[in-house]
Structure 1
Amino acid sequence: MQPYQFTAAEAARLIRDRRLSCEELVRSCLDRIAAREPVVKAWLFLDPDLAIRRARELDKRAVQDGPRGPLHGLPFGVKDVIDTLDMPTTQNSPIYEAARIGRDAACVGVVRHSGALILGKTDTVEFASGGRKALTRNPFNPMHTPGGSSSGSGAAVGDFMVPLAFGTQTAGSHIRPASFNNIYALKPSWSLVSREGVRMAALSLDTVGWFGRSVEDLRLVAEAFRLPGLAQPAASLKGLRVGLCRSPVWNRIEPAGAAALETAARRLEAAGAIVEPLELPAHFAGLTAAREVIGRHEGSAAFLPEYLAAHHLLAADLRQRVELRATYDSAGLLAAYALADRCRPEFDALFGPRLDVVLTPAAPGEAPEGLHTTGDWIFNGIWTLLHVPCLAIPAIRGPRGLPVGIQLVGPRLSDARLLAIAAACAPAIDSEPGWARETLCR
């Protein structure tokens, strides 16, 4: 195996045991990028010389003082709506094409000071919201989207260019690309990870998450963020109570998405879990529309500065979002917030003696063809609005040979418990060996 093929957790152990240097890992990732970037186009900024210098510095520190933290020496991709001290933050917008913020976002600071090497900035939908799409292509078929808005991050991890990367989610921008790129992802509970230095599109929805190639990778980053409860015992699949939730938008599922969910359920049952259908209360059907109302309203405030300062450079759909601000129905907006406030504790209350985790689609099906789309967030928006943690796991290949994943969902602030459950579930759900994934990228 080449170093770029290691999961983050595998590489971390090798670096800690001094059987792999940070420089060796970074050079291997850079070689992979050089070979694949002309096709995948995952990166908006990459400085190989800077990366190698930083890797050597981390190797020196490890020799002198020991590992800096749980992520010591691991290359990390950063979605280009997240500020970095030493790299541009363009947000894929002509307004900020040369912008250098000069400081790290809080999430970047956490991983950098936990030993990670910030490798570069990954492509994104403009402002992670609308306007220009990323140029990034799906690693498994370049004629298909990698998903969005975390397009570059998802594809870079899926194509073995980097072991870890940040994404963000306002509707389905993190979990959906994980499904399309055959990787793992954690969208934490809302507000659990600081969003300081991250471009906001909707204040009450935006969430920072991360991609990896195993549950152990996701947990490694969770340790850096000191998510509460990580010391709890491992979970067991035997007797685990899984709610199979087709969700109120099941009419939007595609055959591959339905097959992924049903296959995951059968595999969990075969491994000893108790899988039973979960029907959400009827009023949860209004959450998709409520998320749309809230997202549009909060976005109208988020893009007002650019609307005023650089009107001609702001994408037409984002200008329209600002212009519709005056037409919003206050009563309808308040009703949307009220429905979310009602449903959050109701969903949390479903868990306990009769339910441990929810199994639900991560995307309608395979990644759509074309770069004009990033796919449909319809199976993600409800969970984003509920502020609950979501964890994506690869499941099957669809009829076109493209990956289709599922997601596990828990109640708010149960992130550590969800990671433990996912660690037990993943070997049953994900039947494709991690080391073999790279050979399947086209």
Structure 2
Amino acid sequence: MTHTSLTSLTIAEASQLLQRREVSPVELTEAYLAKIDEADHMLHAFAYINPHQALTQARRAADEIARGGWKGPLHGIPLGIKDVIVTADMPTSYGSEAFDDQSLRRDASVILLLREAGAIILGKNTTQTFGVEVPCASTRDPWASSRVARGSRDGSAVAVAAHECVASVGSDMGGGIRIPAAFYGVVGLRPTGGLVPRTGMLPAAASLDRLGPITRSVEDARILLAAMTGVDPADPARYRPDPANWGHGEPTPLHGAKIGVIRNWSNEADPAIRRALSAVEQVLKDNGATLVDVNSPIDDLTTSTYQAVALHELAAQHRESLRTKSHLYSPEVLEVIQAGRSVDERAYAEANAAHGCILRAWRSLFIHHDLAACIAPTVPVTACTPGEPTKGCDAFAIPVSLANLPVVVQPMGLAEDLLPMSLQWIGRPYGEPRLLRFAQSYEQLTDWLATPPPFLR
């Protein structure tokens, strides 16, 4: 197979070839390294690459598979990792010069799980400094080089969309997985808190940050998430689902499912996105789902609560580092951290109380209407040009972060400007398996998975 055909494979497709030994992990890794070498000087999706380490991992995987030691669907699969997750064999900078020389010799828990599954770590995907949305050297949009993913500019979704890695592990506080996945036409999943271990990552806000997969297909998100949910030795009390739940499940999960449509969010979106959501609704109804109009609860508390919690926790996270490295922080990041210092303990306690109200209100929404899931646009607009005013790209993401509910985002077509539009599925706590089955059913009923960005044509 050619390098181009190899890098167009999903995890599920590549895994079958690797298991049958029709393709070698070395061939697959070399193909991705060649793609990175060819494209990343334009896209800037990777902050760090070590070809020698990646090929060493690939040769080890090839030997294991040849000896009959196939570990599962991630064995020999090349991944990217967002540069907020510590790896023992490469630096972790968190997008800042303050940590640029740091190479901690201990893998994060999620990295240990991925290595155990046989995955190959290609390198670190770029991130905004400490996950804070401030002006920074941005990655490039593979759909339109003049656009940016306003709301989050990390490289994980860019690398996946541009076929520089099969999939990536991203992080999400208020949309860091979901917003770029939406703008770049890929699948992203923010899991329920406690499902994926966070030991060994630097959170922007400890109570809000989550790690999750960014992939090309919903099936790939299921595969990657299942590997990321093993036992964390540092947190033995952490929730762990029954592994049997990660299977494909019933063939027609939409039939008889009661699904809420968050109508106030739909009404706030651009006309093209509203029309796309209407088409989604028709597909779901045609396949046996019952749809119910609902509104997102207590929106008046959302913005102030999120800002107080996130800013206070960000400032606390960097208190010690600033004592010795403040000169290495950019003025823009220091300004954000200073805003966090202004949120005192009393204000933080009040915000946490409001946070609890928001969480309970979302739980009540599902219970009152007996919903299996909710759908809505992921973002209200397509990707923006630099400096262009937006409608608030995180407006449909932040409430779900506060509600601590699982979310899967996936493509739902192209707008008139030929840029991706995105659908989000919101589920009950720890309802990831069923949510993924809903999203996969919709994916199989449409052809959006086959739509590549212009960069690859």
Say whether the fold is shared (TM-score over 0.5): yes
Structure 1 residues 372 and 366, CA gap change in structure 2 (3 angstroms) = closer
Equivalent position of 1:228 in the other structure: 241
Give yes or no for contact 1:106–1:196 (8 Å, CA) kept in 2: yes
The aligned residue for residue 274 of structure 2 is 258
Selected match of 2:177 from 158, 174, 199: 174
The runs of 5 or more residues in structure 1 that have no matched partner are none
- How far has the Cα of 1:21 moved from its partner? 1.1
Aligned AA for 2:400?
A: W
Deviation at 1:259, TM superposition (A): 3.3
Letter in 2 for 1:170: M
Q: Answer yes or no: is the 8 Å Cα contact 2:152–2:179 preserved in 1.
A: no
Paired residue for 2:442? 425
Which amino acid in the other structure matches residue 336 of structure 1? A
Q: Do 2:266 and 2:274's aligned partners in 1 also have CA atoms closer than 8 Å?
A: no
Cα distance between partner residues in 1 of 2:140 and 2:389: 11
Partner residue in 2 for 1:244:
261
Q: Which residue of structure 1 aligns with residue 331 of structure 2? A: 316
Instruction: Tell me the number of residue pairs that the alignment of Structure 1 and Structure 2 aligns.
Output: 438
Per mean C-alpha deviation after superposition, the further-off stretch among 141-150 and 199-208 is: 141-150
* Residues 147 and 173, structure 1, Cα contact 8 Å, conserved in 2: no
Q: Contact conserved, 1:79 with 1:150, CA < 8 A, in 2? A: no
Match for residue 307 of structure 1? Answer: 322
C-alpha distance in 1 between matches for 2:151 and 2:70: 34
| Matching residue of 2:236 | none
Displacement, 1:148?
5.5
Mapped to 1, the partners of 2:254 and 2:266 lie a distance apart of 26
Unaligned runs of 5+ in 2: 230-239
Residues 191 and 118 from structure 1, CA distance in 2 versus in 1: closer, same or farther, beyond 3 angstroms? same
Pick aligned residue for 2:210 from 202, 207, 219:
207
Q: How far apart are 1:192 and its partner, in Å? A: 1.4
Aligned to 2:304, what secondary structure does the other structure show? helix
- 3-state SS, counterpart of residue 62 of structure 2: helix
1:343 counterpart residue number: 358
Aligned-pair CA distance for 1:417: 1.9
Q: 1:146 to 1:74 in 2, by over 3 A?
A: farther
Q: Are 1:358 and 2:371 counterparts?
A: no
Inter-partner Cα distance in structure 2 for 1:394 and 1:130: 24
**1:24-423 alignment, distance < 5 Å:** 24-131=27-134, 133-146=136-149, 149=152, 151-226=154-229, 228-232=241-245, 233-234=249-250, 235-247=252-264, 253-281=269-297, 283-325=298-340, 327-328=342-343, 330-351=345-366, 354-370=370-386, 376-423=393-440
State the identity %.
Answer: 29
1:366/1:403 contact within 8 Å kept: yes
AA aligned opposite 2:213? W
SS, match of residue 231 in structure 1: helix
Question: What do residues 292-311 of structure 1 show as CA deviations (whole Å, max 9, x unaligned)?
Answer: 11111111111222322122
Does the Cα contact within 8 Å between 2:151 and 2:394 map onto a contact in 1?
Answer: no
Deviations 1:54-93 (A, max 9, x none): 2111101111241134310000101111111111111111
Which letter maps to 1:355? Answer: L
CA-to-aligned-CA distance 1:347-398 (integer Å, 9 cap, x gap): 2344368311100121121111128999722210000111111001101212
What secondary structure, in the 3-state scheme, does the structure 1 residue paired with 2:452 have?
A: helix
CA distance in 2, matches of 1:439, 1:254: 23
State the distance in 2 between where 1:440 and 1:324 align.
39
Amino acid at match of 1:320: E
Asked if the contact 2:7/2:165 (under 8 Å) is kept, the reply is yes
RMSD: 2.4
- Specify the SS of the correspondent of 1:67: coil
Assess if the C-alpha contact under 8 Å between 1:160 and 1:438 holds in 2: no
Q: C-alpha separation between the residues in 2 aligned to 1:10 and 1:292? A: 42
**How far is the alpha carbon of 1:251 from its aligned partner?**
7.0
Amino acid at match of 1:27: E
Partners of 1:327 and 1:171 in 2: CA distance: 20
CA shift for structure 1 position 108: 1.3
Range moving further from structure 2, 166-175 or 128-137: 128-137
